Chain A
Amino acid sequence: MQYQIQNDVNGNPCAIAIVGKIISIPMNEGNTDYQAYLKWLAEGNTPLPADE
């Protein structure tokens, strides 16, 4: 699984996508998908940068 940052209109990270899926994960620590992303990060992985 590969995550990718999503930016808002000001270029600030606002959500997380999963490459190959049409999905948007909010950066909310109560969200279990975001918790899974944080665990993935803690394992040493790096998300793709946001699309330009």
Chain B
Amino acid sequence: MADSTTTNLLLTKPEVGASTDTWGTKINADLDLVDAKFTADLLSASANGVTGFKNRIINGAMVIDQRNAGASVTPANGDYTLDRIKVATTQASKFTVQQNAGAVTPPSGFKNYLGVTSSSAYSVVSSDYFLIGQALEGFNTSDLGFGAAGASTITLSFWVRSSLTGTFGGAINNSAYSRSYPFSYTVSTANTWEQKSVTIAGDTTGTWIGATNGVGLYAWFNLGTGSTGSTTANAWAAGSYYAPTGAVSVVGTSGATFYITGVQLEKGSTATSFDYRPYGTELMLCQRYYFRNTGSLYAMHGVGTVFSTTQADVYTKFPVSMRIIPTVSLSSTQIQVGATLYAATSVSGAAGVTTDGAFSRVGTAGTMIIGYAAILTNANNTSGYLDATAEL
């Protein structure tokens, strides 16, 4: 009887009792086939983005912009711009941030990017830093095992386009900024999208927050940092560093641009294809940290009852559980009781806010009737909103 083959992979099945001198060779060939197939399938799955939550960066394709809806902003220190993208700056008004600033064509596969434009030619002083980046939640980074032997290697990849060329940089930091890894990369050609990747050996020392809702790590891109916050590139250092020494200062040239998208931070030493996630999934990931309800005339934010002649208790359900109990704020909203409208003048968590919803006590200047049903809506405009903020 001759050898047979398996149904799916067509592996050789040596005939039992035969192949006396060849069965080992045949089995080894089968094993090589299985090994090659496994590797090919794994790479294919990765290329097609079906390996799950490999990108620890949220909104890395710069798709979600709940706060500004594509408008340009001049961020202050600590402000968020596009969703999950934070600014750290020691000087006010040195750059603007806008989704798709300059309206250039994004890199292939992307529809959006974050655009930074320098507002002046500012010479950084030693203590200055100008950064954009993301604070990653400990729950999403704890498996990297930073701060102990066996810490995982990570790879940061991104597309960048700048009007400037040269050695740029950024940094990975722990939550206390007592551990820093300034990284460098080169922009070779002005006003041209280039894909970069930086592989970083996991930090085996220092204190890194584990599986909590605090900051697991910071990933910053440098727009200009003085000597105090700069040090040797591509090595872990104790202390607060945000850039490699000598990195290009974007804020140093008036009108200079720095565009970025496709930002991905993943476990491993290889930059794999970008982890495209469904828009709805990405939005929900963002809403764990920030949620804005807005969009139309009289958009409804919540319903409840009149608590006192000047206050109504209104419940708003958040779309996802937020990271922590959020700050709630209102703009251009009103309480509707029957057909009567009362402009909202204050909001308080006195009635109870949780990570899942806000039972807000909304103040008005009106004389409402206690016990009546109350609705919190936008005033007669489309720009009003209810915000819930639980950012890192």
Contacts and interface: CB of A to CB of B under 8 A. Distances in A.
Interface of A: 6-9, 14-15, 17, 21-26, 28, 30-34, 36
A23 B345 CA distance: 10
Given A9-B350, A30-B213, A33-B389, A23 B327 contact: yes
A23 B329 contact: yes
Given A30-B323, A31-B325, A31-B327, A24 B213 contact: no
A21 B329 contact: yes
Nearest to A28: B325
Interface residues of B, number: 26
A23 B358 CA distance: 12
B347 A23 contact: yes
Interface of B: 78, 213-214, 323-331, 333, 344-350, 353, 360, 389-392
A52 to B, nearest CB: 12
Contacts of B213: 30
Given A15-B350, A28-B324, 5 more contacts: A6-B349, A15-B349, A22-B344, A24-B348, A26-B349
Secondary structure at the A interface, as helix, strand, loop or mixed, is mixed
A17 B348 contact: yes
Q: Which 9 A-B pairs have the closest CB atoms?
A: A23-B329, A30-B324, A15-B349, A22-B330, A26-B325, A33-B327, A24-B349, A6-B348, A28-B325
A24 B327 contact: yes
Nearest to A10: B350
B391 A32 contact: yes
B344 A31 contact: no
